[in-house]
Structure 1
Amino acid sequence: MLEKSTELHDKFWEIFSKQDRNKIDEFKLYMDKFAINFNLYKDGNFIEQSLPFDVIPRIISKKEFTEIEKGLQQRVQALNLFLEDLYTDAKIVKEGIIPREFVEQASGYLKEFVGFSPSKKIRAHINGIDLVKDSSNDKWIILEDNLRVPSGSSYPLSIRDTYRKIYPDFFEQMKIEPIKNYPSIIANAMDYVNTGGVNVVLTPGRYNSAYYEHSYLAEKSGALLVRPHELIVIDKKVYFKNYNGKRIRVGSVYRRLDDDFMDPKFFNPESLIGVPGIVESYLAGNVALLNAIGNGVADDKGIYYFVPKMIKYYLGEEPILKNAPTYLPYFKEDMEYIFNNMEKLVIKDVAEAGGYGVLFGHEMSALQIEDLKTIVKANPRRFIAQELIEFYDEKCYLNKDLQDRKADFRAYVVAADDIKVWNCGLTRYALEEGNYLVNSSQGGGFKDTWVMEL
């Protein structure tokens, strides 16, 4: 089902229909010059591929986006309070709001960091929150929280620049909220927690799937783009070694490495990437890391179930944006419901990401469902089940024709002295009709998101 027609959509199609369709090919060529790639390791091989994109933007009214913004600010505030509480007093666990064993079994929970508070007590600085719009009630639903290393923000920035160049007259006729401030929002977050020194974006290198984004955000935010071997830790302080051999103190690191690869002295000693000693510097308060190490506990799909309770516990408020109806086989009554309704639920492995480990009950045979019940019963903490949300399609210009595709929306929320929601986001769409998986790692594409005034 397509999103309901609005004055904004009508205005877009009225103007866009008058544009030269041949410019779409020009648009694609220009985007190719940006070298917007999503790099994958598949079957043991490194594959550098162009990320599919669509010229037709998603359109959200300013009024509607304001409500989304309020809900996201509320959610990220609660998640930050949860992370700080969990790694210090753990009151939410002691008071039984979240079972202790449930937290301690989360793959992203790092007990070694209990008792440590980072700079300004902010842990989730740069967040990607994934939403869909339910076609049954027009409500936005949160599907997932990404509080470790969310990616994708550079793609709409690039496609927006292309609109201005290829369709300058058309673009000027649309009252679109500006988005160029995102790198400055990132820079402000780095400055806010900086412990003394320059800001850097830490990348594992060009073979990372989001390397284009690392370099883009470093350049636009005024930070240095550095690889792990270009940083050195001396006396628990982090320095950048420039090409002249000069050491420059680093005070804030926007890291694009997962926890396990940050420091071979602290995590995996066999790792060939990472910065030896950076965790010790971090724990000494001599460098800020965006995002904090240990945030993965809040990314856990099982912990997602408890976010509405976090909002009530820490803020005394009802959630503005709801979760998808979710069931935990960890709880007996939920397991019974899941087993009785598995054919209409979505089953997710909490250890997987990027669209992997997702099973749709309606696509499974009776035998497969029985096998899955056995697996879930043996390890209930490993899974969650959710009602299948029939979310809206978006129009996509594919194969020189307009086609409908399922699409979600990743919003970017940055916490510093206040919590800012970027006036844009990453709309991801499935390449195949009827497919619910829109992740880039599953072959999904992306499009711009226009927040517009009527």
Structure 2
Amino acid sequence: MTQAFFNEMFERCDLQAAGVSAAAFRGTGAPRTHYREFIDWLSAQSDQQIRNKRAEADLNFRRVGITFAVYGAKDEPGVDPERTIPFDVIPRIFPAVEWAALERGLRQRVNALNRFIHDVYHRQEIIRAGIIPAEQILDNAQYRPEMNGVKVVRDIYAHIAGIDIVRAGQGEFYVLEDNLRVPSGVSYMLENRKMMMRLFPDLFSRNRVAPVAHYPDLLLDALRAAAPEGSDNPGIVVLTPGMYNSAYFEHAFLAQQMGVELVEGQDLFVENDYVYMRTTQGPQRVDVIYRRLDDDFLDPLVFRPDSTLGVPGLISAYRAGNVSLCNAVGTGIADDKSIYPYVPDMIRFYLGEEPILKNVPTWMCRKADDLKHVLDHLPELVVKETHGAGGYGMLVGPASSAAEIEAFRAALVANPDKYIAQPTLALSTCPTYVEAGIAPRHIDLRPFVLSGHDVRMVPGGLTRVALREGSLVVNSSQGGGTKDTWVLER
């Protein structure tokens, strides 16, 4: 790839209009300092070399089994229901000082969210203080009254949090979503790094990139910290819905990396309010369950009676304090999109601090004035279901047809409580290698925050990229891809 070609491709990235500080270049067009070494390296690579490496990455991901399932795709002709997430060879790069500021904000936010969940299921002081209306919590589908008064170890509910971050405006960070139930994607963060080191080992001798490979060790420490009192050598398992779940690869990967058993509900049973795993050597006590299925499916005696994925009696053992669930039952109350607008107030209320990370301005359609504003400006806004996920159940006004907008308008009028709306942010872009060459594509970031003896995280996260030109939807199920995320050490 010639220097002239390289410069021409990068000049197509309208980085100034989409958040200069998140991208590879300054407003003048000169490379930002922390990208300079990578840009020098990339300019020396031929187009064919990069294409060959992309193909090698895809082949290796398939060989290892790093795929995700697209529900319903098996019924679509010509669509592979098991596919690899497209991997981009141009990393997203953070300087150490910038990452340190982001990490402080993430620690603060997760601390406040854990305080909030504990408060919801105990004293409910935030309701009595009039900060959040009672009905917003008590009538919420994610509120679990079964958790009222239940003591959890260290008062930690969200042991694993995936916080979605975007950069917009003049380069400031915004939190887009808090994922606290069963956040996924960390296996791609780890495998993306392994792939980059395999494909381009010389890059890591030229750049001091902070490691992320120790994440499974930190996760295991957080799970051990959640063990009930008296569990000196806790039995830990990863509970999966099974091989047909879209994130099954991740479940198996993390169990293997931590050296613990991967189990399904049928592998566990409850006796005298203790949980046991069936093994060829007889029953073995289980103290901590890293569960990768939703609350509704955990225990058919308490939640959905038709669930075959969970363990009968599990919640009884949990309430008795004989087993810990990570994340705790009921954490969904804090990642519901109708609760999201109150997180800055939570930080002030529980910590007495000003939020380090900003929320995206949000209109709650259950409020009459907010609903009127949203209906008047629907073509300009992003509208989301409060319980939606994966990029589904949302409207991106500027990218939608008139018919789609009117259909959403009818849904809003019929059931406004189900929706929130946000402005269409000018998200930052990152140079991305697509079929036409290097071009700007919108990105977000999901760092993974672990709460155990303390709050910890690895320097990096899962960068997701909207590969379709102009798209703001980065979800893999909606055509998004991923990048390695580099934090440069000082």
Give the match for residue 211 of structure 1: 248
Secondary structure of the 2:143 match is coil
Give the match for residue 288 of structure 2: 252
Decide which moves more: 441-450 or 282-291: 441-450
Structure 2 CA distance, aligned partners of 1:26 and 1:365? 38
Decide which moves more: 142-151 or 189-198: 189-198
Which runs of 5 or more structure 1 residues have no equivalent in the other structure?
none
Q: 1:363 to 1:173 in 2, by over 3 A?
A: closer
Q: 1:97 to 1:388 in 2, by over 3 A?
A: same
Decide which moves more: 362-371 or 276-285: 362-371
**Aligned AA (1:173):** R
Structure 2 CA distance, aligned partners of 1:263 and 1:434? 43
Deviation for aligned residue 1:365:
5.8
Kept in 1, the 8 Å contact 2:54–2:88? The answer is no
TM-score after normalising by structure 1:
0.95
Post-superposition CA distance 1:84-140 (Å, at most 9, x none): 000111111122110111112322111121111211110011000001110x21001
Q: 1:205 to 1:369 in 2, by over 3 A?
A: closer
**CA RMSD after TM alignment:** 1.9
Matches within 5 A, 1:408-447: 408-447=444-483
Kept in 1, the 8 Å contact 2:395–2:408? The answer is no
Deviation for aligned residue 1:364:
4.7
Decide which moves more: 286-295 or 33-42: 33-42
Post-superposition CA distance 1:258-285 (Å, at most 9, x none): 1111111211111121111111111110
Give the match for residue 227 of structure 1: 264
Q: Deviating runs (4+, > 6 A) in structure 1?
A: none
Q: 1:43 to 1:307 in 2, by over 3 A?
A: same
Secondary structure of the 2:383 match is strand
Post-superposition CA distance 1:339-392 (Å, at most 9, x none): 332221111111221111111223456676566445424433211110111111
Decide which moves more: 3-12 or 207-216: 3-12
Q: 1:288 to 1:171 in 2, by over 3 A?
A: same
Kept in 2, the 8 Å contact 1:92–1:98? The answer is yes
- Give the one of 167, 170, 173 matched to 2:206: 173
Kept in 1, the 8 Å contact 2:251–2:292? The answer is yes
Give the match for residue 26 of structure 1: 56
Secondary structure of the 1:437 match is coil
Q: 1:79 to 1:378 in 2, by over 3 A?
A: same
Matches within 5 A, 1:267-416: 267-364=303-400, 369=405, 372-399=408-435, 401-416=437-452
Structure 2 CA distance, aligned partners of 1:335 and 1:92? 25
Give the match for residue 261 of structure 1: 297
Are 1:156 and 2:186 matched, yes or no?
no
Structure 2 CA distance, aligned partners of 1:440 and 1:119? 34
Give the match for residue 17 of structure 1: 43
Structure 2 CA distance, aligned partners of 1:453 and 1:400? 33
Give the match for residue 7 of structure 1: 33
Kept in 1, the 8 Å contact 2:237–2:260? The answer is yes
Are 1:101 and 2:127 matched, yes or no?
no
Secondary structure of the 2:447 match is strand
Secondary structure of the 2:325 match is strand
Structure 1 CA distance, aligned partners of 2:220 and 2:408? 46
Structure 2 CA distance, aligned partners of 1:89 and 1:397? 52
Give the match for residue 69 of structure 2: 39
Which runs of 5 or more structure 2 residues have no equivalent in the other structure?
1-13, 16-22, 26-31
**Aligned AA (1:16):** L
Give the match for residue 487 of structure 2: 451
**Aligned AA (1:62):** A
